């Protein structure tokens, strides 16, 4: 318990609010086949002008096969408007092409592609395909699990569509590399007794972007804690802030909250001949 207290204190002492993190990166593992997940993510920022703004993102995820996962999502926010309104939609597909499993260990790799539509005009330099900007992204994910510790890294190439805005006397960047390095650790329980136990995970993620056509970058750090209830519902609380960068962004920090419920085997399989 002392350790939990320590970790809770550690993570919360960056700033008072907590936030979720899983909205930021996906591991190479995909959803179980024939399963679905419903996810809500909320992002909360205080802009440079001092206005408090929010973004709400519902998502539906589907595990089509053991290796292929797709999801669709939308976002509603008041970040680019005076009122809360629908602003964007996203489609995402991820294919796991490599798995090497051992007892409580794995190495996995996956390819992903994302397409985003956004009503918003380009106002900032960063290419954020989760609401701000319309565009495409594709990349690769490598995840490694060692018992209670999981490390994951992502490298993606993103291309923004609506980039005719001029900021700082230059046109907004349209191409960027996104990269991330994420660590997660299972803190509780020490020993499993049932699926009903509440689990606690802690996460630390580095999230970076380097634009290609303009020399702009940011690198963020995003710690989070995650509770898992009944082995199917996640609650993520996290905070994300900039460690360094030279981009014109909406905000250099934000808080995240996420709730994610998995529904296993909800898609019926075709009858299979049993030998």
Binding region for other proteins (CB under 8 A): 1, 4-5, 8-9, 12-13, 16, 18, 29-35, 65-66, 96, 99, 101-106, 145, 147-148, 186, 188-189, 191-200, 227-229, 231-232, 234, 262, 264-265, 269, 272, 274-275
User: C-beta of 25: minimal distance to other proteins in Å?
Assistant: 17
Smaller CB separation from other proteins, 79 or 224: 224
User: C-beta of 162: minimal distance to other proteins in Å?
Assistant: 37
**Spatial contact of 155 and 170, defined as CB atoms under 8 Å apart:** no
Smaller CB separation from other proteins, 179 or 263: 263
User: C-beta of 62: minimal distance to other proteins in Å?
Assistant: 14
Question: In angstroms, rounded to a whole number, what is the distance separating the alpha carbons of residues 153 and 161?
Answer: 26
Number of other residues whose CB lies within 10 A of the CB of residue 180:
22
User: C-beta of 1: minimal distance to other proteins in Å?
Assistant: 7
Smaller CB separation from other proteins, 33 or 219: 33
Question: In angstroms, rounded to a whole number, what is the distance separating the alpha carbons of residues 134 and 121?
Answer: 9
In the numeric block, which tokens belong to residue 104? 């409580």
User: C-beta of 32: minimal distance to other proteins in Å?
Assistant: 4
Which phi and psi (to 5°) does residue 174 adopt?
-120, -15
Residue burial 111-124, b: 16+ Cβ < 10 Å; e: rest: ebebebebebebeb
Smaller CB separation from other proteins, 67 or 175: 67
Smaller CB separation from other proteins, 18 or 133: 18
Question: In angstroms, rounded to a whole number, what is the distance separating the alpha carbons of residues 127 and 102?
Answer: 38
Facing residues of 37 across strands?
61, 262
Question: In angstroms, rounded to a whole number, what is the distance separating the alpha carbons of residues 223 and 33?
Answer: 30
């Amino acid at each position: 318990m002392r350790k939990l207290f320590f970790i809770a204190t550690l993570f919360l002492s960056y700033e008072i609010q907590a936030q979720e993190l899983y909205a930021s990166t996906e591991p190479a593992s995909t959803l179980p086949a024939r399963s679905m997940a419903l996810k809500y993510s909320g992002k909360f920022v205080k802009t440079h002008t001092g206005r408090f703004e929010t973004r709400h993102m519902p998502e539906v995820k589907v595990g089509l096969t053991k290796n292929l996962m797709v999801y669709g999502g939308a976002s509603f926010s008041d970040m680019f408007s005076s009122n809360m309104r629908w602003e964007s939609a996203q489609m995402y597909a991820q294919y796991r092409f490599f798995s090497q499993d051992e007892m409580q260990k794995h190495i996995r790799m996956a390819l992903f592609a994302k397409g985003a539509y956004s009503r918003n005009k380009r106002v900032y330099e960063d290419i954020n395909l989760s609401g701000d900007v319309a565009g495409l992204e594709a990349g690769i994910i490598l995840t490694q699990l060692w018992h209670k510790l999981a490390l994951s890294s992502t490298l993606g190439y993103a291309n923004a569509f609506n980039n005719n805005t001029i900021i700082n006397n230059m046109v907004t960047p349209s191409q960027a590399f996104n990269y991330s390095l994420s660590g997660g650790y299972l803190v509780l329980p020490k020993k499993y007794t049932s699926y009903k136990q509440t689990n606690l995970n802690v996460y630390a993620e580095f999230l970076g972007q380097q634009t290609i056509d303009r020399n702009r970058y940011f690198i963020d750090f995003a710690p989070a804690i995650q509770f898992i209830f009944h082995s199917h519902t996640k609650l993520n609380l996290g905070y994300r802030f900039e460690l360094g960068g030279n981009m014109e962004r909406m905000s250099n920090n934000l808080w995240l909250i996420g709730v994610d419920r998995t529904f296993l085997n909800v898609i019926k399989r075709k009858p299979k001949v049993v030998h």
